[in-house]
């Protein structure tokens, strides 16, 4: 299950502005592009998810579609993402994500009765300050780029992690809390990556009375309690598994760790965590304290616990998927309802300096929606004139039915046209 363990795990463990993928620089703050035209094209087809009504209420805040999706260079939110905004899969008690959330709640309720305050309805539209500054994400960090994050405007984003709520909850006086929510990231396409997924954040604050009796310094005290608490959580979810702690980097914690478990023959990352940076506590009214924090991706764990092979399935409304899960039934194994064949289409083009794979994937998703299973770079070369060519293989597959040649050809034709027009690349 190596693929599963790679799902949505790396962005905050990166330290620098630019990273190189396949030898190419991915430029941050490349010009955002609007794909609303692409999405409206695709919404005509009957098999796609319906676009949500144009007014939503999220965490008590009313949001109109044109508050979030605008044809404006500071906005890069497509219709397809807006349509996911109010769905809140984590609040459905018989959905695998809701069942997992409740399973984690159960662990904290049993072991720390009445201690943790639970939030699962905080608005995913947050300020740049909440999402990044308040948790000390450096000004030049790659996660802030238009290539990686959905911007509503230059000061507002769709949260890309639940850590965005740490500071405000501390300021509101909370010292023990769990925050579950949908998070949004521009990304590549494969069976473990989807631009909307779900995370749970946990924070526990200690006061001097807690650590003074222990004989430990405050940081060691918090780190020990953190490890004990999270090892217990992993055992609650996975049984008597082998575990190991890996040193990690996150801007908001120091020291930082990742917890891995040995499961189904492989080491798998379960969560990121650490001792909260003092600066976050100080800025939010908790000077004389120490705290731990953790963040985990619900899809990654649910895919393993419920044997769900493709991240798109979480969004399926097909009864053959939804009827297999019920409230409180943790870890029931999903039985695939026959596997429909994939269809592969290749496309080659000369890229330009602003080309990124995330932009390509957004165009493709805007047209094919959940019918696209994977987009992979299969060839890449630079000629003597310095022009670089990429060849991408697109795998189309529905999890619910067979696709006809005709509809795939139609999708691919639209993809070629839109990729050329939106990304200004030259098809070969």
211 vs 294, beta carbon nearer ligand DAH: 294
DSSP run (H or E) holding 5: helix 2-5
The contacts of residue 359 (CB under 8 Å, 6+ apart) are: 30, 33, 147, 422, 423
128 with 98: CB under 8 angstroms?
A: no
Tell me if 332 contacts ligand DAH by CB under 6 A: no
Min dist CB 142 to ligand DAH, Å, is 12
Number of residues in contact with ligand DAH under rule CB under 6 A: 14
195 vs 274, beta carbon nearer ligand DAH: 274
DSSP 111-132: HSTTT-EEE----SEEEHHHHT
Tell me if 201 contacts ligand DAH by CB under 6 A: yes
Write out the two tokens for 173: 């006086």
End-to-end CA distance of the chain: 36
Tell me if 250 contacts ligand DAH by CB under 6 A: yes
- Which residues in the 111-130 window bind ligand DAH by CB under 6 A? none
CA pair distance 278, 134, nearest whole angstrom: 12
Min dist CB 390 to ligand DAH, Å, is 28
Min dist CB 407 to ligand DAH, Å, is 36
9 vs 380, beta carbon nearer ligand DAH: 9
SS3 138: coil
Tell me if 104 contacts ligand DAH by CB under 6 A: no
- Which residues in the 258-317 window bind ligand DAH by CB under 6 A? 272-274, 293-295
26 vs 300, beta carbon nearer ligand DAH: 300
Q: Would strands 125-127 and 156-158 be described as parallel, antiparallel, or unpaired?
A: antiparallel
The contacts of residue 290 (CB under 8 Å, 6+ apart) are: 205, 206, 211, 218, 219, 221, 222, 275, 276, 278, 281
Min dist CB 373 to ligand DAH, Å, is 24
47 vs 112, beta carbon nearer ligand DAH: 112
CA pair distance 167, 189, nearest whole angstrom: 32
Binding to ligand DAH by CB under 6 A, coded x per residue (else -) over 152-181, reads: ---------x-x------------------
DSSP run (H or E) holding 417: helix 405-423
Tell me if 138 contacts ligand DAH by CB under 6 A: no
56 vs 81, beta carbon nearer ligand DAH: 81
Write out the two tokens for 347: 């496309």
Among 4, 7, 12, 145, which residue sits at the site for ligand DAH (rule: CB under 6 A)?
A: 12
Residue nearest to ligand DAH (CB): 295
By the criterion CB under 6 A, which residues form the site for ligand DAH?
11-12, 161, 163, 201, 250, 252-253, 272-274, 293-295
């Amino acid at each position: 299950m190596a693929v599963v363990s790679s799902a949505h795990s790396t962005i905050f463990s990166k330290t620098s502005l630019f990273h190189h993928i396949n030898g190419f620089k991915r430029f941050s703050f490349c010009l955002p592009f609007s794909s609303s035209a692409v999405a409206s094209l695709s919404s005509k087809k009957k098999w796609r998810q319906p676009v949500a009504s144009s007014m939503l209420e999220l965490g008590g805040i009313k949001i109109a579609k044109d508050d979030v999706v605008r044809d404006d260079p500071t906005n890069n939110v497509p219709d397809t993402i807006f349509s996911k905004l109010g769905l809140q899969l984590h609040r459905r008690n018989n959905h695998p994500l809701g069942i997992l959330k409740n399973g984690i709640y159960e662990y904290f309720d049993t072991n720390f009765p009445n201690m943790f305050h639970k939030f699962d309805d905080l608005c995913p539209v947050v300020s740049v300050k909440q999402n990044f500054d308040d948790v000390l994400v450096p000004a030049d960090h790659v996660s802030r780029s238009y290539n990686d994050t959905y911007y509503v405007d230059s000061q507002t984003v769709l949260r890309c992690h639940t850590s965005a709520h740490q500071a405000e909850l501390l300021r509101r006086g909370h010292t023990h809390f769990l925050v579950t929510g949908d998070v949004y990231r521009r990304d590549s396409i494969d069976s473990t990556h989807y631009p909307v997924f779900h995370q749970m954040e946990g924070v526990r604050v200690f006061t001097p009375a807690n650590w003074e009796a222990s004989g430990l310094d405050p940081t060691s005290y918090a780190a020990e309690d953190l490890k004990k608490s999270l090892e217990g959580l992993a055992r609650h979810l996975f049984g008597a598994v082998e575990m190991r702690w890996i040193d990690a980097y996150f801007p908001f914690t120091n020291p930082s760790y990742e917890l891995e478990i040995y499961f189904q023959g492989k080491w798998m990352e379960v969560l990121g965590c650490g001792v909260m940076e003092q600066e976050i506590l100080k800025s939010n009214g908790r000077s004389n304290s120490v705290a731990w924090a953790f963040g985990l991706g619900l899809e990654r764990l649910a895919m393993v616990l419920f044997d769900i092979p493709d991240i798109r399935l979480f969004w399926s409304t097909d009864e053959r998927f939804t009827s297999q899960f019920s409230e409180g039934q943790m870890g029931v194994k999903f039985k695939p309802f026959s596997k429909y064949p994939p269809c592969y289409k290749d496309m080659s083009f000369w890229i330009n300096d602003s080309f990124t794979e995330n932009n390509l994937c957004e165009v493709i998703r805007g047209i094919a929606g959940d019918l696209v299973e994977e987009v992979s770079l299969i060839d890449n070369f630079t000629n003597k004139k310095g022009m670089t060519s990429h060849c991408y293989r697109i795998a189309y597959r529905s999890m619910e039915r067979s696709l006809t040649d005709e509809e795939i050809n139609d999708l691919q034709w639209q993809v070629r046209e839109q990729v050329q027009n939106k990304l200004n690349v030259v098809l070969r």
